[in-house]
Amino acid sequence: MSLIDVPDGQLAAVVTFLEMRERPAGMPIPASPLTLHPIHPTAAAYRELFRAVGAPWLWFSRLIMRDSQLRSIIDHPGVELFEVRDGEQAVGMLELDRRAAGECELSFVGLVPFYAGKGHGRWLLAEAVARAWAGDTKRIHVHTCSLDHPAALAVYRRAGFTAIARKVETFLDPRLAGILPRDAAPHIPLVEPRS
């Protein structure tokens, strides 16, 4: 066993890559009071939803993109964006990326913290998988990391995904960089750089 130093001000996460190569047989979509709605947001509206869902898990990749970079993804005809709603209130998001022929990536799937741990995630993932298999999809893939919701990996595996690879990712802590508030993800210690 070996330990690898993580530089001051950075975080390390184990990223697990998963895939599904066959449509699951008889995977019913659980009932939920929540609904999915296709959206075509502005860059600012996208970032607001992304931050609401992802800040507890330190999602920041889309927050640091230039508007033109973000627009090139979210406006692409191969990318489908959905807002999860409870009535008229946005409470989650789903992003499906079909830019690679025959593949669909579950780019971002999540709910705001109040809705997590109440069974809504099972519904959302079942909806995501059903929608991802539409058309000529031959492979669905997703990745999660050790900073994500503790149940994420198990939920993906129960849904039929198989782990295919693991990598360690290091990056500047987005709380120290001012990308996310310093109180985001309180379950992940904030380690200040030493002077």
Question: Which of 22, 50, 7, 15 is closest to 172 using CA atoms?
Answer: 7
**pTM for this model (two decimals):** 0.94
Q: What is the tens place of the pLDDT at every residue in 117-175? A: 888 999 999 999 999 998 899 999 999 999 998 889 999 999 999 999 999 999 999 99
Segment (H or E) for 69: helix 67-74
Q: What is the tens place of the pLDDT at every residue in 40-95? A: 999 999 999 999 999 999 999 999 999 999 999 999 999 999 999 999 999 999 99
DSSP codes of every residue in 95-153 = EEE--STTEEEEEEEEE-GGGTTTTHHHHHHHHHHHHHTSTT--EEEEEEETTS-TTHH
Distance between start and end Cα atoms, the chain? 30
Domains in the chain, start-ordered, CATH in brackets? 31-170 (3.40.630.30)
